[in-house]
Copies of this chain bind each other. A is one copy, B any other.
């Protein structure tokens, strides 16, 4: 039985070191859907600056059912123009020949530095070995090969009523997916067509990756692809499938957050009592975006004034609420009550809590949402100033 993307039946994977990473580590991965009833769907970055592999894969998803996903780390192939487009095409041609698969069935994902040309020759030279190494036990290698500043590979496995979901993801930017490149491949052996897969994926991504600390804008290369093989022979209930897919995506999203660059606290910001889900998300995001809130948490200081000040930046047409009714609890202690001074913050020991739960009750409705973030640390500044990525 395989792990990650090879946990469901019908999938094989492999990875090699093509030479794109200076370290000599594995940097090229391939996931192949061998199922008899293939389905595929994908969500791409909403950034207006879109990497060449994203442009290519977006078109592929429109034109047919993708079964082969080629992923590289070490270079994003973004802002590379016509040369970048040709480089994608060269990789796709090489894979098509080696794997004897129609080009129409291939999607490509890249992650790494923006604004440098891809070493296409290194990729095409490595593809034959990559194809011959494909196996049901190749998932862990594939998950490692897509890592950039990630410290651990991220895989997920879920079993539901005879069908399975598996997956892998990479991304370790603190603000993933806002400012980091996030790649994710999800697989399932459920019998499910591309349209159903597409709508389930849209909601799952909204509730998971898009709820990571973010201004709602993805980076140049972010891609989430889901492939269905149909090999379990079971057609799941749509709601059950959607729930399982959301669970798999949320697990991977939390793994990304927990591996965030230099993080010392993992912060869940939950807004309740909002007039709408959008209002709740926007308030939670405003708090998650504040460097002053993030540095305070790094310093183990439950500085609720900085939280309230961030809540107050959300326009009233986005989130109607009365500041005098807002309560804020940190790890269960209501340190701000009715917009003013609550329990003494000495009751809190953030130094002892790796997990920090910030709960904000707006007192203005019954909707809610959670956004996942981290603190802002010296290690974050170091990692993002000392290395080009």
Contacts and interface: CB of A to CB of B under 8 A. Distances in A.
A15 B291 CA distance: 32
Nearest to A299: B385
Nearest to A311: B49
A80 interface: yes
Given A299-B385, A303-B388, A305-B115, A323 B173 contact: no
Contacts of A178: 313
Contact of A47 (B81, B313, B324, B339): B313
> How many A residues touch the partner, as a band?
35 or more
A47 B381 contact: no
Interface stretch (A31-39, A214-222, A363-371): A214-222
A324 to B, nearest CB: 8
Majority DSSP secondary structure for residues of A touching B: loop
A236 interface: no
B115 A296 contact: no
Contacts of A292: 173, 175, 179, 384
A160 B324 CA distance: 46
24 contacts: A48-B312, A48-B313, A48-B323, A49-B308, A49-B309, A49-B323, A50-B323, A78-B305, A81-B324, A114-B303, A114-B308, A115-B305, A117-B341, A219-B309, A291-B291, A291-B384, A292-B384, A295-B380, A295-B385, A299-B384, A299-B385, A376-B385, A378-B381, A381-B381
